Amino acid sequence: MTDPISTPAAPQPAAPLTEAEDRQWASFAHLGGIIGFLPSLIIWLVFKDRGRFTNTEGKEALNFQITMVAAYIVGSILSVIVIGFLITLAAAIVSIIFSIIGFTKAKDGIAYRYPFAIRLIK
């Protein structure tokens, strides 16, 4: 007797986000910047195809966090002299402040563009 070969079902594309969910995940992408670039990266990768606003804001938040990582690296390298500590401290404070501003804007459905960021992800 032969068993019919069963083929696994094709994965279904994820449902698009509602407007409220889109704003929620976009705001979380900004807020995640307080602890580093990984939350922004994960949110953008998971939800970029499901919500237009999340895609835009996730990229913006991720680009800013990549810029902050570069500032942390420069600060670490220059930590041999006192200015490295100051650069690292300033980058941490700026990251927290702008992440919170981005969160509040995105929560209200307003696109937020950071005043400075290396835009590597288009």
DSSP 45-59: HHHTTT-HHHHHHHH
* Structure-block tokens of residue 41: 């990266």
Domain positions in the chain are 19-107
Residues 6 or more apart whose Cβ sits within 8 Å of residue 80? none
Cβ(21)–Cβ(51) below 8 Å: yes
pLDDT of amino acid 11: 65
Angle value at C-alpha 103, between 51 and 49, nearest 5 degrees:
15
DSSP string covering 12-43 = PPPPPPPHHHHHHHHHHHHHGGGT-SHHHHHH
Alpha-carbon gap, residue 71 to 65, rounded angstroms: 10
Could you list the pLDDT tens digit for every one of the 122 residues in the chain? 555 666 666 666 778 888 899 999 999 999 998 998 999 999 999 998 898 999 999 999 999 999 999 999 999 999 888 788 999 999 999 999 999 999 999 999 999 999 988 888 88
